[in-house]
């Protein structure tokens, strides 16, 4: 789920005509996960123009995600989960092979 500061930065950047690619580049350089930026850009497209989100200026640096915002989207990294499952299965196979010998 995109975060308030992220949505506000996107809204104000879009208000002055900044492209989605430039917004995404700035936010990923500031430390946001690419999937969160993409979700926020998509959500911004769905919001009406009269939605009030806050008061960040796009001339400022993009807001950096907090520690919890950096840790929260770990479920997006499927490769880590697959690797962990693979390592667990291999560990079980080795354990039972050694236990029977």
pLDDT at 1: 40
Choice between 58 and 37, residue whose per-residue pLDDT is larger: 37
pLDDT tens for 21-32 read 999 999 988 888
pLDDT at 86: 92
pLDDT at 43: 83
pLDDT tens for 41-93 read 888 887 645 444 454 455 556 666 665 566 555 555 677 778 888 999 999 99
pLDDT at 2: 46
- Distance CA(30)–CA(33), nearest Å, equals 9
Other CB atoms within 10 Å distance of the CB of residue 45? 10
Long-range contacts of 76-80 (CB under 8 A, 24+ apart): 76/33, 76/35
Domain spans in the chain, listed from the N-terminal domain onward: 4-71
Choice between 15 and 89, residue whose per-residue pLDDT is larger: 89
């Amino acid at each position: 789920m995109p975060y308030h500061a992220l949505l506000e930065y996107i809204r104000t950047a879009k208000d002055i005509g900044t492209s989605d690619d430039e917004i995404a580049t700035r936010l990923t350089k500031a430390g946001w996960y690419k999937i969160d930026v993409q979700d926020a850009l998509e959500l911004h497209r769905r919001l009406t123009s009269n939605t009030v989100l806050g008061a960040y200026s796009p001339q400022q640096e993009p807001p950096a995600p907090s520690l919890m915002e950096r840790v929260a989207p770990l479920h997006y990294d499927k490769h880590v989960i697959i690797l962990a499952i693979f390592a667990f299965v291999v560990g079980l196979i080795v354990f039972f092979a050694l236990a029977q010998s």
